[in-house]
Amino acid sequence: MKVIFEKPKSLEDVTFHYCPGCTHGIIHRLIAEVIDELEIQEKTIGVAPVGCAVLAYDYFDVDMHEAAHGRAPAVATGIKRVHPKNVVFAYQGDGDLASIGMAEVVHAAARGEKITIIFVNNAIYGMTGGQMAPTTLVGQVTNTSPTGRDVEHSGYPIRVSEMLGSLVGPGNSMKRVSVHDPKHIGQAKKAIKEAFINQIEGKGFSLVEVLSTCPTNWGKTPVEALKWLEEKMLPYYPLGDFSPKEGV
Amino acid sequence: MQKVIFNEEKCKGCELCTTVCPKKIVYMDEKKINSKGFHPATVTQQEECISCGFCAMMCPDVVIEVRRPSKEGKKDE
Ligand SMILES: Cc1ncc(C[n+]2csc(CCOP(=O)(O)OP(=O)(O)O)c2C)c(N)n1
Ligand code: SF4
Ligand code: SF4
Ligand code: SF4
Ligand SMILES: [Mg+2]
């Protein structure tokens, strides 16, 4: 019997605390698979965020560091500059990265820091009970937008990959992927792998924005949530490569 | 022959794996309940499984392991 699929080595053999059907778990697994395939478990250092993934340090079997809310890119910068031969990644939610931590990610990208960020965009603050995020869709109902996000009041959702791609020069990489079906999960893994390779080759900053679900705070079953991601998030957040092609 | 193996204790009953199986053989076992209180996903028609791995890729909780028989002359090799 040939093993087609099993738990990656870089993932601890524990049960995630995530809600049933939450795609944070798929994204964790993809990162661990990539670490295994690149054979970098011994030299990878991860930075965990504040958000539902706050306990990520318990799940990856690599060295991990916790960062204050939104500050993962700054912490990852420090680690990478002190340990340039190590592979450093940060795992951040959209509240963490695109609200309180927007300054840190913009400047880390602008400096071309040789770190990799896995940016989990689930269009909401999951951990704190479902408040509106900068990535919440227009019309999306959350605890703090009970009648739907109103452009007049809150503006338009921020497209982080496009924004960062417009700021920086070549060598930096920004891609948006999704995990709503096996085909897209395969593409997401490929993008995560390329982002790590971008760092290993010393090219620059790399970010992979992964569209993800929050069935609990979206008020949907896990299956409905995947469908909602596909039908509502994909049109506003197109998948693709937003890396700068030439100097700015 | 077990081609697809579910660690039923770890299952959270989300049903995502049941939606992606091309053979439609993954189902929630309503007769069982794990210590978390969920009906776990499972496959009984193991012979129907084509070892595509889709169910395992879709599972957020790494519940599923997939194997492929390495018999010579087998179509799915
Ligand atoms: C300095 C500070 N401000 C606010 C909070 C409260 N807080 C915790 S997690 C969070 C948002 C998390 O949302 P996101 O980053 O999108 O992660 P998710 O839970 O959706 O994965 C907030 C505002 C905090 N912990 N620390
Ligand atoms: S609250 Fe949302 S993001 Fe957090 S674990 Fe639950 S489903 Fe996932
Ligand atoms: S490996 Fe493929 S065919 Fe077998 S149970 Fe899983 S999804 Fe179905
Ligand atoms: S996807 Fe995983 S956790 Fe969800 S029902 Fe299937 S086996 Fe259980
Ligand atoms: Mg979020």
Task: Set out the domains of chain A in order of their start, with CATH numbers.
Answer: 24-241 (3.40.50.970)
Residue B13 is assigned to a structural domain of this protein: yes
Ligand 4 contacts (CB < 6 A) are: B 6, 11-17, 41, 58-59, 61, 63-64
pLDDT given for residue A169 in this prediction: 87
Interchain CB distance below 8 Å, B62 and A25 = yes
Residue B74 is assigned to a structural domain of this protein: no
Interface check for B38 against chain A (CB to CB < 8 A): the answer is yes
Please list the alpha-helical segments (H only) found in chain A: 24-37, 72-82, 94-95, 102-110, 151-154, 160-165, 182-200, 215-218, 222-228, 234-236
**Angstrom distances, CA of residue A101 to CA of A49, A94, B58, B72:** 10, 9, 30, 55
The whole domain housing B43 covers 4-66
Interface check for B14 against chain A (CB to CB < 8 A): the answer is yes
Nearest CB to B53: which of A1, A5, A221? A5
pLDDT given for residue B70 in this prediction: 83
Q: Judge whether residue B55 has pLDDT over 60.
A: yes
Interchain CB distance below 8 Å, B12 and A21 = yes
The contacts of residue A1 (CB under 8 Å, 6+ apart) are: B1, B3, B67, B68, B69, B70
- Per CB-CB distance under 8 Å, the chain B contacts of A1 are 1, 3, 67-70
pLDDT given for residue B73 in this prediction: 53
pLDDT given for residue A245 in this prediction: 80
Interface check for B58 against chain A (CB to CB < 8 A): the answer is yes
Residue B15 is assigned to a structural domain of this protein: yes
Q: How confident is the model at residue B72 (pLDDT cuts 50, 70, 90)?
A: low
Mean pLDDT over B3-23 rounds to 98
Interchain CB distance below 8 Å, A6 and B65 = yes
Q: What is the CATH number of the domain that holds B33?
A: 3.30.70.20
- Cα separation of B5 and A128, whole Å? 35
Q: What is the pLDDT along chain A (248 residues), one digit of tens a residue?
A: 899 999 999 999 999 999 999 999 999 999 999 999 999 999 999 999 999 999 999 999 999 999 999 999 999 999 999 999 999 999 999 999 999 999 999 999 999 999 999 999 999 999 999 999 999 999 999 999 999 999 999 999 999 999 999 999 899 999 999 999 999 999 999 999 999 999 999 999 999 999 999 999 999 999 999 999 999 999 999 999 999 986 55
**Angstrom distances, CA of residue A129 to CA of A67, A118, A204, A219:** 21, 22, 35, 11
How many domains would you assign to chain B? Answer: 1
The ligand with the least distance to the CA atom of A93 is 1
pLDDT given for residue A247 in this prediction: 52
Best of B17, B20, B29 to mutate for ligand 4, by most ligand atoms within 8 A of CB? B17
Residue B77 is assigned to a structural domain of this protein: no
